[in-house]
Amino acid sequence: MTSPRDVHDSGSGRHAPASDSDADRPAMRRLREGIPASPGIVIAPVRVLRMEVPQVPHGGVIPEERIEAEIDRFRKACDAVREQIRTLQRATREQLGPVEAQIFEPQLVMLEDPELIDGTELNIRENHLTAERAFEWRVLEWEAQWSHTAHPMVLDKLNDLDDVEGRVLRYLMGVPEPELASLVDDQMVIVVARDLTPSVAAQLNPARVLGLATDEGTRTSHSSILARSLHIPCVVSIEGLSETVRDGDELILDGRTGRVIIHPDDDEKAHYRDLDFQMREWEQELLLLAHLEPTTQDGARVDMRANIDLPGEAQGARSHGAQGIGLFRTEFLVVGRSSFPPEEEQYRAYRQVLEAFPDHPVVIRTYDVGGDKFPAFLHMPKEENPFLGWRAIRLCLDEPEFFKAQLRALLRARAHGDLRIMLPMVTQLSEVIETRRLIAETSEELRLAGHSTDPECPVGAMIETPAAALIASELASHVDFFSIGTNDLVQYTLAVDRGSSRLAHLYNPFHPAVVRLIHHVAQVGQERGVEVAVCGELAAHPLGAFLLIGMGIPSISVGPAALAEIKKVIRSIHQKKAAVALDEILSAETSEAVVQILTEHLRADLDLDRFALSLWGAN
């Protein structure tokens, strides 16, 4: 192995590199837990990446006669950086696809934002600052406005701002843009960083970067999305890791469980190599299950559908055995854009997915914007807690022009398959009634314009809050199906931000309150003849799937990668035995008790080796 060396930008900025002194290193905890963001196991040396914002020289005051020239210099820098980002965006589009390339749109929007650009020019005019000092001041002001929140999309905005700031300052100061390839050299490494900006993440080379671990980030952050697209194992939100490890330190990274081990011993390395080998064999076995029926040992059928974020994922979901789409998230059409997406673009995206599943349902969620997703063209209000604010169906009903464009595209696309409309974050019966009124109105407008539409298009409500769960009986009279979004249901029931690493230990889908709410909705569905599906991450957990099947839930929807594994669970168990466990589970007092009961019943119902049980969380 080559001698380790520090890797950092030529100008150190607000984040100082780790000290070279052993005495200055934080106390080492060898086993660290983070958020799994991209699956896979890798054992490799670390390369700590420090892509810091250049430090602007002190002073920076200019005479009045230089003001216009300095403003012109700043504008040229912004133009140059816009072109740099567009070049990187084109390369990303060619390598990974159009949606991954869209990650760079927020940066391009920032470079045209009057608050940032005009504010910088005002600093130059009024304070006689150099362009770099004026821009740095304005960025600091923006950061101060956003830094009080830990919401994932706000963190992505801060990361985008870091990227833009670094590029503009490097241009103004004559510092060349660093290339990731030169920083990693020709070694095969696990890159460790505080976080990765989009422009760095897009340069990751899977032949050299075997894994990625970051101090910050979430599963939906830009670096996570790009890591999954590149099939690079990734763990995020490992607090302080980049300040703990050094170049050359050996690391085990498990992107499936979110675990890293620093300085592993020989036994640990042997165990994880064996685990990696077994997982690869396991995955091959699971592929053989893709097109078998999802039926339990005692003949209960469970519809297996897929959750997707992009139209291009539909074919992959079908090849993994999906029997339709249970959740098609449509936010990719709006996030990072400066204007409404054209109706025709929306229609083509929906049609593409429907044509991949001509004989199965495709459930399309209307825009769940707000919260952690901020389309620039909506001019979102500043809110102390945007997850409890103007978002999802509330926002759509308040913006009928925006909402009806999506409804028109959805109703037109229904001509190509079994399209079903799903409304996010429903908490009021009136939200469903008003949406149905808009659908009828939109359908009539389309009919008059010569389009063939179906005014009886099925409409469902996502059950993501305790309020929606508790009024399920009332909602059942006005919807055609329920889909339980367990990710938000856990968050809102337990008052735990699911993006917070500090509170991660409290975010538990097996909490008795969550389990009882899901069971209540399942009972309402059975009594009222309304289909109940589950599309949250609980359905992708083998213990969760066992629980849901015991409740008699007829349809579950998971990410394409989890389809075969959950199908194996379904085909391995007895629905009646899972139902027997339910009374005991509903009387459990703690999350730990729920998991223990599920584990014991799952183990009793299965004849699997220890490896399979450990993968299924039943060990």
For the chain, give percent helix, strand, coil, nearest 5: 50, 15, 35
Amino acid at 195: D
Distance CA 53, CA 168 (A): 10
Q: Which residues are catalytic?
A: 222, 535
* Cα separation, 256 vs 108, whole angstroms: 33
Name residue 549's amino acid.
I
Contact 586, 510 (CB under 8 A): no
602: three-class secondary structure by DSSP: helix
Residues in contact with 271: Cβ distance below 8 Å, sequence separation at least 6, in sequence order: none
Contact between residue 491 and residue 539 where contact means Cβ atoms under 8 Å apart: no
Bridge partner list, 211: 190
Check if the beta carbon of residue 298 is closer than 8 Å to that of residue 575: yes
> Is residue 52 within 8 Å of residue 8, measured between CB atoms?
yes
Amino acid at 390: W
Whether the CB-CB separation of 93 and 100 falls below 8 Å is answered with yes
For residue 10, the one-letter residue type is S
Six-digit token string for 584: 């005991």
Residue type, 506: L
Residues in the chain: 619
Distance CA 546, CA 565 (A): 12
* Contact assessment for residue 361 and residue 324, using Cβ atoms and an 8 Å cutoff: yes
